[in-house]
Amino acid sequence: MEIDRFWEIVEAARAVPAPFDEALFNRLRQLPGDEIVEFGRRFGELQLELYRWDVWGAAYLIGGGCSDDAFIDFCAGVISLGREWLEQPDSLATHPEVQAEGGDQFEPLFYEEVTYVPARAWRQATGGTDFPQEPVAHDRDMGESFDFDDESEMRRRYPSLAPVCL
């Protein structure tokens, strides 16, 4: 699936006045099975693209800590926010949920349910049981690691996000 088509589907689901995972499910289940699989594959690629220390640091600030499982949920949540939020983790400081609440774990930013939507939609659309998804390998360069508990380092790396969350 072309990246623009992926984002068209995400934006169309975001425009529906319903929880994003429900709106996305309703969009995807209307597509042919192979297109749902391609959406799921693209989603996994974007999650892998976000699987970096700088993004994890942002998740750590926003969530007041962040386990491996929570980070995967965070990546799904960032994707569900739309294309513009993928560019720079520090930009999440301007997200309305972060502005409103600071250091809590917000549903829109730690959104586990979104990860399972393509498989659910594919099962409904095709009647199949085993969603044909390739495993995602996390053995890539995550960039420079750093100490998430070092407040001065977090403030240096996230000049907009740290003041909102710390």
Predicted TM-score of the model (pTM): 0.91
- Quote the DSSP letter at residue 94: G
Backbone angles phi, psi at 120, to 5 degrees: -60, -45
Compute CA distances 31 → 15, 24, 124, whole Å: 18, 11, 11
Q: What is the pLDDT of residues 55-98, one digit of tens each?
A: 999 999 998 899 999 999 999 999 999 998 888 889 988 888 77
Write down the domain spans for the chain.
3-133+153-165
Q: What is the pLDDT of residues 22-66, one digit of tens each?
A: 999 999 999 999 999 999 999 999 999 999 999 999 999 998 899
81/115 Cα distance (integer angstroms): 13
39/4 Cα distance (integer angstroms): 11
Band of residue 140 on the pLDDT scale cut at 50, 70, 90? confident
Please name the residues in contact with 33: beta carbons below 8 A apart, sequence gap of 6 or more. 122, 125, 126, 128
